[in-house]
């Protein structure tokens, strides 16, 4: 089983790497907005295919491991969870790309007011991504529960941001298109946090191991 | 292999049933908005846990099949794709609940404008969900490509709805909170169509069978 253990470790490392790439995409997308750096935004958009390629590679590796190693119980559950997690990570990458697209548009307009909520949201969302993936590779701890709790913070900031934007839209309807784009960016970050929450939920579900018990005594054909 | 074939058939039926439940949720969530009937919305919200339960049931069945039947090649790929598809379906169910929630809020205020584009978006999205799942169970056809094409229609309608609402907001700031909620409903429908597109893409990927070919002759191990 030594080869399989090595393969599982390599799989974990690939999932971690995908997580880092997604985190970096989120960080840089918001940085391109705050620093009004559209070149950086274009770079993030260009890099997205690397995230997609790694997602497919991980999925292929998972199917290969299931087919060739016929893993049971915990290992099988780990591998199928990895396949589900990659989908969430890839979609977060797409959302980082959406942030960049809005950033490029916003960078061409005058700055409405300094960004306060959005960098804070991005910071929390990045931590949630990191912790949810750590929870997945480290096995079963309290970490995924912590991730889920933090989602409320991001939700509150989304609402707070929306109310602030609404206020300035009512005062000056001319700025509506700009303000709306800013509410979109908050919404994208909220969805990134939702994806991290989904990963944390899947990790908890994996750890509960309800099905693993059923599978310990396989029925005869 | 007869038992396994039956089990695969049962799995397909369950995925189709989950799809029908999600389609119904989308349909009803938009109906409660158009007909201004919040009771329907509350029903959609209440019924959502059934979608979640069936999602978990399908996932459990997939893991059981992989563990006990040790499927190879096409069958393995079909089962792992089913596990990915259920996630998208369950999220569409969540989005239908979000539509229902916004509908309840909107139904408490005077109607801003007649709903024309939103029912159209719902109709296209429902068709996309249905077709993406048919593509999945029917095997490899042109259907998933059609689903992907229709996503552009929904995207365009979403932009159209948003621009129209922006006009209302600029004209009369009193409409902002209602217009924003309607724009959210439009956005939720756009995301539902995105999920259907994701399913169609997974079906195409499943059919291409790139990995399957590698697995037809597994190298000796252990």
Query: Is A68 touching B (CB cutoff 8 A)?
Result: yes
What pLDDT is stored for residue A172 in this prediction?
87
Measure CA of the first residue to CA of the last residue in chain A; give whole Å: 25
Cross-chain Cβ contact B169/A176 below 8 Å: yes
Q: How confident is the model at residue B209 (pLDDT cuts 50, 70, 90)?
A: low
Distance from chain centroid for Cα B214: 31
Q: How confident is the model at residue A210 (pLDDT cuts 50, 70, 90)?
A: low
Quick: pLDDT tens for A182-197. 999 999 999 999 999 9
% of chain A at pLDDT higher than 90 = 75
On whether the CB atoms of residues A29 and A189 are closer than 8 A, the answer is no
pLDDT > 70? residue A168: yes
A77 interaction partners in chain B (CB closer than 8 Å):
63
Average pLDDT of the residues of chain A: 90
What pLDDT is stored for residue A1 in this prediction?
56
B214 interaction partners in chain A (CB closer than 8 Å):
64
Q: Considering CB atoms only, which of A68, A72, A173 is closest to B169?
A: A173
- Give the range with max mean pLDDT: A71-75, B57-61, B173-177: B57-61
What pLDDT is stored for residue A73 in this prediction?
82
CA atoms lying within 13 Å on the CB side of residue A5: 2
pLDDT > 50? residue B219: no
- A134–chain B nearest CA distance, Å: 21
Measured CB to CB, residues of chain B less than 8 Å from chain A are 3, 56, 59-60, 62-64, 66-68, 70, 72-73, 76-77, 80, 83-84, 87, 166, 169-170, 173, 176-177, 180, 187, 198, 205, 210-211, 214-215, 218-219, 221-222
**CA A219 → CA A155, A208, B64, distances in Å?**
46, 22, 10
Quick: pLDDT tens for A134-165. 999 987 889 999 999 999 999 999 989 988 98
What pLDDT is stored for residue B72 in this prediction?
83
DSSP letter at A219 equals: P
On whether the CB atoms of residues A151 and A194 are closer than 8 A, the answer is yes
pTM beyond cutoff 0.80:
yes
Average pLDDT of the residues of chain B: 90
What pLDDT is stored for residue A214 in this prediction?
41
Q: Where are the alpha helices (DSSP H) in chain B?
A: 2-34, 38-69, 73-107, 117-138, 143-171, 176-208, 210-216
Q: Which are the contacts of B213, defined by CB distance < 8 A and separation ≥ 6? A: none
Give the mean pLDDT of A117-139: 95
């Amino acid at each position: 089983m030594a080869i399989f253990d090595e393969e599982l470790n390599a799989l974990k490392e690939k999932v971690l790497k995908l997580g880092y790439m997604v985190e970096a995409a989120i960080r840089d997308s918001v940085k391109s907005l705050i620093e009004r750096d559209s070149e950086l935004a274009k770079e993030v958009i260009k890099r997205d295919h690397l995230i997609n390629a790694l997602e497919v590679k991980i999925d292929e590796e998972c199917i290969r491991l299931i087919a060739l190693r016929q893993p049971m119980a915990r290992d099988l559950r780990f591998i199928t969870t990895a396949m589900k997690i990659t989908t969430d990570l890839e979609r977060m990458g797409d959302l980082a790309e959406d942030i960049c697209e809005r950033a490029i548009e916003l960078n061409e307009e005058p700055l409405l007011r300094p960004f306060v909520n959005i960098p804070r949201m991005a910071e929390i969302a990045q931590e949630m991504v990191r912790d949810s993936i750590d929870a997945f590779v480290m096995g079963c701890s309290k970490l995924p529960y912590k991730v889920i709790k933090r989602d409320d913070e991001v939700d509150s900031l989304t609402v707070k941001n929306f109310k602030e934007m609404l206020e300035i839209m009512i005062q000056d309807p001319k700025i509506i298109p700009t303000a709306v784009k800013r509410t979109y960016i908050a919404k994208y970050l909220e969805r990134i946090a939702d994806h991290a929450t989904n990963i944390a939920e899947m990790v908890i579900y994996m750890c509960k191991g309800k099905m693993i018990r059923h599978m310990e005594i396989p029925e005869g054909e | 292999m007869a038992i396994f074939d039956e089990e695969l058939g049962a799995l397909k039926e369950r995925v189709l049933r989950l799809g029908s439940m999600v389609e119904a949720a989308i349909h009803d969530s938009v109906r409660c908005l158009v007909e201004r009937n919040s009771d329907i919305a509350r029903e959609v919200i209440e019924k959502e846990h059934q979608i979640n339960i069936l999602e978990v049931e399908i996932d459990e069945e997939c893991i059981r099949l992989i563990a006990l039947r040790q499927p190879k090649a096409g069958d393995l790929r079909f089962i792992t794709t089913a596990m990915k598809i259920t996630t998208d379906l369950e999220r569409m169910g969540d989005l239908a609940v979000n539509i229902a929630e916004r509908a309840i809020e909107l139904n408490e205020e005077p109607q801003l404008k007649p709903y024309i584009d939103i029912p159209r978006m719902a109709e296209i999205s429902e068709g996309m969900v249905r077709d993406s799942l048919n593509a999945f169970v029917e095997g490899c056809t042109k259907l998933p490509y059609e689903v992907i094409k229709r996503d552009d229609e929904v995207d365009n309608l979403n932009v159209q709805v948003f621009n129209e609402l922006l006009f209302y907001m600029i004209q009369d700031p009193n409409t902002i909170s209602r217009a924003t909620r309607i724009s959210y409903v439009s956005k939720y429908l756009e995301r539902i169509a995105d999920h259907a597109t994701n399913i169609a893409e997974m079906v195409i990927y499943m059919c291409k069978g790139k990995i399957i070919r590698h697995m037809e002759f597994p190298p000796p191990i252990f």
